[in-house]
Chains A and B, each alone.
Chain A
């Protein structure tokens, strides 16, 4: 009897079989680098409406379009950057020193901000960055009080999109003597960071903690307290945003489930959290609902890849986006999804000295800067086509959904019928425009 060749395996795809075999062999789940490969609804499911007779487009090549962005407008010293694209928090540890310095240098070339990530802030990063965001993480590894006073923006981290509910994983291969010294942990161990802060266990504690931080920062910065952001993974967005506002944050960084990471359990990356597109809509709606949209900034991240994503994010109501994996790709990363091994052949996600040297800092910095410049220009192109002279003037009315799914998730009218499924996002739900 002839055997079936290349049968359709349904549930039992090669990847599923490979995962089962790995678990059977090792008695543990797999850790993987980079982001989840699963397909989720994203900004490609939205289209931007260009101006025609109802409104005039702005000349792409001859008329100006403002890109300057103010984050945390209610803070004593709001953060001003020249493009609404920031570099997301990626640790020295997950990334090599050369990669961290290159990213910092890139921010100076385009006038934006970089977040240090877990595990301290390299002096070279501080020295080379245009503006510096400092994360206060539950692990507090590499953190020192003095860093607070050097920050242009602070982020208290509650979750990361790639593994929400968990925290940093840094595999032993990357914990060199230098990393071990900075983080105050033994070299070579597999590090599983703290997912919950030891100095605030709830919303009420946070209110007091933020007051205390602000008071200390006000004194030490002579009244130039930087904005304090909450970085949260996209989950129960409405409730989390309300708590963040109640706690007194100047802004929220919302990280979707397709965010990148140096290492995460496959199950966490693939099954925890929600995509950034619907999460961003929920966040904006909530901020509007409680009257906080004008004073609390929203930065979104998790799979942002080009100027179209940026333009659509701004149109939904975000104030800026943060890029991580995309910046790594600009430096040369090929998304092999093996960051956890520490053997990155491009010198980006490794601590092996010979590999680290492969990344030319200045060349990588220019590539990242070029990429941010180009994606900002792409967003400008789309914004001008939609008739905007400022990127921040993009609005939800400029968007249409391409699928029933994205329409129902975002409340943005379906292209063609202009029918609004779902909750409506400033549009009348369950009706045509």
Chain B
């Protein structure tokens, strides 16, 4: 295993150092003393296994492709944004907007995550072992977001496609606009069980419900910019008559 000590490397030189090691044939790399540098391993696209000893900053593993990365600490905002394939595993917690625009691959966080996890995600799978803050899966266009802990309000706001799996008992009261809360199918539960077994989570697929996009009767997304006009009876009730 190749060992890179980031303590002696400037932020801008870290990724080129890693890529150079990969070009020289390294298949497994251990990086120490990263100390929250930004865009660590972003743009890495070779089939390599990388372990980062401590925490990383913003844009960790942006545009990641083919590689398997394990971060043993926390990661900052936008980790795994635009990720194409491979794996990004975070052992602790993350900041906001993790997995934004992810296209493929697995992004697994054993701790909790901030707001807008999976924002605009188009594919791939994001698993959050802890809680996910407000607007999880906002405007998703595909993929699967699995949250084992609690959800914040506005879950799935304006999703176009994709699914959010939740076992938060209060999830139904935390939905965003244009989504529906439904039971999980046997097939989906079995798929979740496979994921939990692979990543060592103690959970069962059948404990989960699914948040899916919901279109109105005309097949349109509905947007509320202003309180809609009430039916005459409801309007009368509002006036107290």
Which residues does A use to contact B, with CB under 8 Å?
27, 138-141, 143-145, 172, 183-186, 188-190, 192, 194, 198-201, 205, 208-209, 211-212, 215-216, 219-220
Contacts and interface: CB of A to CB of B under 8 A. Distances in A.
Given A140-B120, A189-B220, A198 B101 contact: yes
B50 interface: no
A217 B196 CA distance: 36
B126 to A, nearest CB: 13
Interface string B145-188: 00000000000000011000000000000000000000000000
Given A198-B119, A198-B138, 20 more contacts: A139-B139, A140-B82, A140-B122, A172-B220, A184-B141, A184-B161, A188-B220, A189-B221, A192-B223, A199-B78, A199-B82, A201-B77, A201-B96, A208-B58, A209-B78, A212-B39, A212-B59, A215-B43, A216-B42, A216-B43
B205 interface: no
B160 A211 contact: no
Contacts of B232: none
Nearest to B140: A184
Interface residues of B, number: 41
B113 to A, nearest CB: 14
29 contacts: A27-B229, A138-B120, A139-B120, A140-B82, A144-B103, A145-B84, A145-B103, A172-B220, A184-B161, A185-B161, A186-B215, A188-B220, A189-B160, A190-B221, A192-B223, A194-B120, A198-B97, A198-B101, A198-B119, A199-B119, A201-B77, A201-B97, A209-B78, A212-B42, A212-B43, A212-B59, A215-B16, A215-B42, A215-B43
Contacts of B103: 144-145
Contacts, number: 100
A25 B27 CA distance: 66
A192 B160 CA distance: 11
B131 interface: no
B116 interface: yes
Interface of chain B, helix or strand or loop or mixed?
A: loop
A27 B213 CA distance: 25
Interface of B: 12, 15-16, 19, 38-39, 42-43, 57-59, 62-63, 65, 77-78, 81-82, 84, 96-97, 100-101, 103, 116, 119-120, 122, 138-139, 141-142, 160-161, 213, 215, 219-221, 223, 229
A199 B161 contact: no
B97 A212 contact: no
B84 to A, nearest CB: 6
Contact of A188 (B100, B139, B142, B219): B219
A239 to B, nearest CB: 23
B141 A141 contact: yes
A198 B16 CA distance: 26
Given A184-B161, A199-B97, A215 B39 contact: yes
Nearest to B77: A205
Contacts of A186: 160-161, 213, 215, 219
